[in-house]
Structure 1
Amino acid sequence: MSEVPVLDHWVGGTAWQGASDRVAPVFDPARGVVQRHVRLASTSDVDAAVSTAMAAAAAWRDASLAKRQTVMFAFREILNARRDELARILTSEHGKVLADAHGEIARGLEVVEFACGAPHLLKGEYSENVSTGIDVYTLHQPLGVVGVISPFNFPAMVPLWFVPIALMSGNAVILKPSEKDPSAANWIAERFAEAGLPAGVLSVVHGDKEAVDAILDHPDIAAVSFVGSTPIATYIYERASSAGKRVQALGGAKNHMLVLPDADLDLAADSAVNAGFGSAGERCMAISVVLAVDSIADALVSKIAERMSTLRTGDGLRGCDMGPLITEVHRDKVAAYIGIAREDGATVVIDGTGIEVDGEPAGFWLGPTLLDDVSTGSAAYRDEIFGPVLSVVRVAGYDDALALINASPYGNGTAIFTNDGGAARRFQREVTVGMVGINVPIPVPVAYHSFGGWKASLFGDAKAYGPQAFAFFTREKAVTSRWLDPSHGGLNLGFPQNT
C-alpha cells in the first residue's frame, strides 16, 4: 500500500488525514488496477470537520452577497479554464469517455453560473402598510452547516448541483463524495480555495457508511442533499428526517421512451442509443426501456441494432464511444441481467459480454446490449440495471404504453417520440413522471429549472438546483414591523386586528 498514493480529506482549507486509518481502493476501471487509496472517515473525523465548518459558517453567513458572488464568479472562471484537467480525472476514476466527462462539467458549470445570480434569487418580499403603520417583509437566511452526499456516476456534476447554491445561500458545506471516484471532489474544493472561499466553508470528508451515518445523525448539520439509488435514498431520507434535518434525496429510475408509429424512426433510434449507452448507462436519466408500438417495432429494433454495431467500447482516453463500468462487481451484476432476460423469454439481439475492446483486458468491460421482447414480469424490466442494457418492450399502442409507465414505482424521466402534437400534449399531462421529453431522450432541465422526479425517484419536498434549491438551503423569516410616531394608542390587551 505504501507504493499507492492515498487521497486525504479536505478540511480547514487543506488536506487532512483525520484519525481513522481505514482506506479503500480507487480503481482505474479501464485498466482494472488500483491507482490510489482514499481515506475513510470515522464518526470522530466527521465531528471534527463539522466543528471546523461551524466556526467558518459564522463569518461566511455575514459575508455580503457581493463577496459571495465575487468568489463564485472567480470559481466559475477557474473551472472553465481548467476543465480539461477535471475531465481527465473523471475519466481515470469513473471510466466515462472524455467527451462525456466534458459534458458533465458543462452541465455543472450551468449551475455555477445560475448560482452567481443568487442576489436576485435571495431577495425577500415587502408589503407596505398591511395595517396602519405596519409593514411585513421576508428574509432568506442560511441554515448553517449542510451535508451533500454525492454518487459515483457524476463525481463532478452532482456536487456542482448543490455546493454552489448552498455556498451562495451563506451555508458551510460538508461534501461526502463516493469513495469509488473521490478525487474530483478534492479538486473542486481546491479550486474554490483558489477562488477565495474562506477555509472551512467547504470541507470534503471521504468515507463509507460510517461517514454517511455520522452526517445524517450529526446535530449540527441542518440539511442533507443526496443523489443515488432508491433503497439508499429511502434510508437517507428516513434517518436524516428522524434526526430533524431538512432532506432532499433523489433516488433511482427506470426511464421509458415511447415511440409512436408516426415518429421519425431514425431520430428515435439515434436517441435510444445515445440515451441508453452514454456513460455506459450509468445515469439516472438513461433510457433503459424503449416502448415500441407493434407496427414499427421490427423496423425500430433493426435501426437501433445497426447503430449499436458501430459503437467502439474501450478506454475513455482513446477516443472510444463507451467506456467501462465503475467496478468489477457492478459489471458482473449488470451482465447477470442479460441471462435473466434470456431465461424470461427475451431475445438477446446484441450481447455485450465478451466483446473485443480497445483497452486493457483487465478493465471492467461490458459492451452495449440490446434485448427485445422483454417481459414486464422479468427483473430485467423491473429493476434499475444502471448499465449498458437497453430493453425493448412491444406495446399495442399509446394507452398500453402509458399504463406501463404510470405503473412503474419510479418517476424520474420519460420521453415520447412522435410528430403528433396532440399525442405529445396528452402524454405530458397524463404521465406520472417528474421530467418529460418530447422528441428529447434525456430531459434534464437547464439550471434555472429544478431537477427531480416523482414517486420513488424523489424523497423530500425540494428538487435539485433551480429556484427550489435556494428555498431548500435557506430559511424564510417573516418580519412584521411598526415604527411608532410620537403618539400611540396606549395599551390594548385584545387580539391584534388588521385596521
Structure 2
Amino acid sequence: MKSPIGHLIGGELVSCAHARLQDVYNPATGEVLGHVELAARSTVEAAIAAAQAAFPAWSGILPAKRARLLGRFMALLEARADEICALITLEHGKVLDDARGELHRGIENVEFATYMPELLKGEHSKNVGPKIDSWSEFQPLGVVAGITPFNFPAMVPLWMYPAAIACGNTFVLKPSERDPSAALYIAQLALEAGIPSGVLNVVNGDKEAVDTLLTDKRVQAVSFVGSTPIAEYIYATASAHGKRVQALGGAKNHAVVMPDADLENAVNALMGAAYGSCGERCMAISVAVAVGNEVGDALVERLGAALAKLKVGPGTVRGAEMGPLISKPHFEKVRGYVDAGVAEGAKLAVDGRGLNVPGHEGGYFLGGTLFDHVTPEMSIYRDEIFGPVLCVVRAHSLEEAMALIDAHEYGNGTCIFTRDGEAARYFTDNIRVGMVGVNVPLPVPVSYHSFGGWKRSLFGDLSAYGPDAVRFYTRRKTVSQRWPAGGVRETAQFAFPA
C-alpha cells in the first residue's frame, strides 16, 4: 500500500508517525485510492511556525520579485495542467473538461496576483498642511490561513494564497481531506517555481486542524469557503480570537425564466448550470422560477427531454457530461432529498435515482433529477442540496419571482433569462443577491472582480479574490510627515490641528 498523503511544511513533505488516517475514494468506483493523514494540533502549529519564520524575509522582498515568482508558478500550472486535472477527476469525480475549466479559472487568479505591485502602490498627497505630506501604505498582515472545500480542490485555494503571498504574507492552507492530492501537488509546483520554503504550507486534516488555525494567535486572518453552518462557525470562532475573517457559505441560486426568454438557450444554460459538476457548485442553479404556467410547462418539457440525453459516467470517459457525487454519505444525503421532495408533494418530473453506470456499480452516481410545482415550504426548496437536483417553481410575475428570491436566507447568485432590457435592468437593480447574471446562468466574476454573496452566503465585510483580496490581506498605514525649517522654534499648539 502506498504511503499516506501527508503535509507540506517549511518546504518539505512531512509524514507523522501514528497519525490518524482517513480513506480517500475514487467516487466513480467507490474504491479506496489511499489514505490522507489528519494533522494533529502539533503538526498545524509546526506549519504556522514555518510560515511565521518565513514572513520577515518574504515580506521584505520587492513586490515585483514576488510577482515574477508567481509568474513562474503560473507557467508551471499551465505546463502541468493535465496532471493536475487528472488528480481532480480521480478524487472528486468531475469530468475532465470541468476540471480544466476549474484550473483555468484558478490560473486567472494567479495572473491577477502578478499585478500586485500596481495594486500595492498606496496613495500620496503633498502639502495636506503647511509643509506636511501624507501618504498611505498597504502592509502585509503576517501569517494567514485558508480552509477550502472539496468541490474545487484547485481553484478555491488559488483564489486565496496567490493574492495573499503577493501582498507579502505567508500562508497555511487546509484543503479538503476528501480530495487532497491536487492542492498538495500544486503547492509543490509553487516551490518548484522558486517561492521560498515556509511561504506556502499545506496541512491536511479535519476539525482539529481547523480549530488550531482559528485559535492560534500567530494566524492573523482566515479565509474559508464551504457550507453556511461551518462558515458561521469559522467567522464566530476566528473573530472571537481577534482575526480578520472572510467566510463564504452556502447558496440556493434561482434562475428566473421570463415569458419572452429564448427558451432553447435558457434550457441549455440551465442544464449546464444545474447539472454541471453534479450540482456540487456554490454557484449552481438549483431553482428555476418560471414566470407564467405556459413558460413553466414548456420549460419542464424541454428540460425533461434534455435530461434524457444527459451523458452520465466516470469523469475520465470521453463525452461524459456529469460524473458521480463526491462520497457515499453525500450520495445518500442527496438521494434522501429526492425522497423528501416526493413525500412533500412536489411533482418528480425526472427521477435520477436508480441510475446504473455499467462497470461502475459501486460509484456514487445519481442521475439528473427534476422537480416541478415546488413550493417554498419544501425542504428541497429551502436547503442547499448540492447535487444534480433542479426545482421548478411557478410565479405569476417578475415581482413575485423576485420576492421569492429575496425571502430566501441565501443570497449568493441569481440570473434572469429575458429579451426585455427594462425587466433585466429592474432585476439587476433591485434583487438582493451578490452576483447577478442576465442570460448568464453562472455569473462568477472574473479574477479582477471579486466573488461574494449577500445575506447568509457571506460572513465578513470583504469578498474573495480580485480587489477585495488586496484589502483583506493587507493593513492600511497612513503616514503624515513634516520637516520644520532649520532654526525655526515653534510654540505648543493646544487646539486640534486644522
Shift of 1:96: 0.2
CA deviations 1:210-269 (Å, max 9, x no partner) are: 000000001000000000000000000000000000000000000000000000000111
Selected match of 1:126 from 124, 137, 148: 124
Q: What amino acid maps onto 1:234 in structure 2?
A: E
Shift of 1:487: 3.0
The residue that corresponds to 1:323 in the other structure is: 323
The residue that corresponds to 2:199 in the other structure is: 201
State the distance in 2 between where 1:136 and 1:449 align. 29
- 8 Å CA contact 1:4–1:35 kept in 2: the answer is no
TM-score, normalization: structure 1? 0.98
Shift of 1:428: 0.6
Shift of 1:496: 4.8
The residue that corresponds to 2:103 in the other structure is: 105
Alignment of 1:22-421 (within 5 A): 22-293=20-291, 294-319=293-318, 320-357=320-357, 359-421=359-421
Q: What amino acid maps onto 1:240 in structure 2?
A: A
CA deviations 1:93-150 (Å, max 9, x no partner) are: 0000000000000110111111110000111000100001100000101000000000
Shift of 1:485: 2.3
Selected match of 1:12 from 10, 13, 16: 10
State the distance in 2 between where 1:491 and 1:198 align. 52
State the distance in 2 between where 1:58 and 1:37 align. 35
Q: Relative to structure 2, which stretch is displaced further, 246-255 or 370-379?
A: 370-379
- 8 Å CA contact 1:172–1:202 kept in 2: the answer is yes
State the distance in 2 between where 1:151 and 1:488 align. 62
Shift of 1:175: 0.1
- 8 Å CA contact 1:437–1:443 kept in 2: the answer is yes
CA deviations 1:59-106 (Å, max 9, x no partner) are: 100011121011100001000111111000000000000000000001
Q: Relative to structure 2, which stretch is displaced further, 213-222 or 394-403?
A: 394-403
Shift of 1:489: 3.7
SS in 1 for 2:316: helix
Q: What amino acid maps onto 2:458 in structure 1?
A: L
Q: What amino acid maps onto 2:155 in structure 1?
A: M
State the distance in 1 between where 2:101 and 2:114 align. 20
- 8 Å CA contact 1:331–1:366 kept in 2: the answer is yes
Q: What amino acid maps onto 1:284 in structure 2?
A: C
CA deviations 1:342-363 (Å, max 9, x no partner) are: 1111111111111132551101
Shift of 1:493: 4.1
State the distance in 2 between where 1:216 and 1:421 align. 46
SS in 2 for 1:248: strand
SS in 2 for 1:316: coil
- The number of aligned residues is 496
- 8 Å CA contact 1:312–1:357 kept in 2: the answer is no
State the distance in 2 between where 1:98 and 1:487 align. 74
The residue that corresponds to 1:460 in the other structure is: 460
SS in 2 for 1:285: coil
CA deviations 1:468-497 (Å, max 9, x no partner) are: 110000000000011232132423142452
State the distance in 1 between where 2:396 and 2:359 align. 42
- 8 Å CA contact 1:351–1:367 kept in 2: the answer is yes
Q: Relative to structure 2, which stretch is displaced further, 419-428 or 292-301?
A: 292-301
Percent identical across equivalent pairs? Answer: 53
State the distance in 1 between where 2:55 and 2:457 align. 32
Shift of 1:375: 2.0
Shift of 1:394: 1.0
Shift of 1:4: 4.2
SS in 2 for 1:7: coil
- 8 Å CA contact 1:144–1:172 kept in 2: the answer is yes
Q: What amino acid maps onto 2:260 in structure 1?
A: D
State the distance in 2 between where 1:290 and 1:5 align. 46
Shift of 1:19: 5.7
Structure 1, unpaired ranges of 5+: none
CA deviations 1:177-218 (Å, max 9, x no partner) are: 000001111111100001100001100001000000000001
State the distance in 2 between where 1:496 and 1:276 align. 60
State the distance in 2 between where 1:453 and 1:30 align. 32
State the distance in 2 between where 1:127 and 1:180 align. 51
SS in 2 for 1:160: helix
Q: What amino acid maps onto 1:318 in structure 2?
A: V
SS in 2 for 1:366: coil
State the distance in 2 between where 1:308 and 1:489 align. 84
TM-score, normalization: structure 2? 0.98
- 8 Å CA contact 1:254–1:288 kept in 2: the answer is yes
CA deviations 1:13-71 (Å, max 9, x no partner) are: 11012465111111010110110111111111111111111001111000111210111
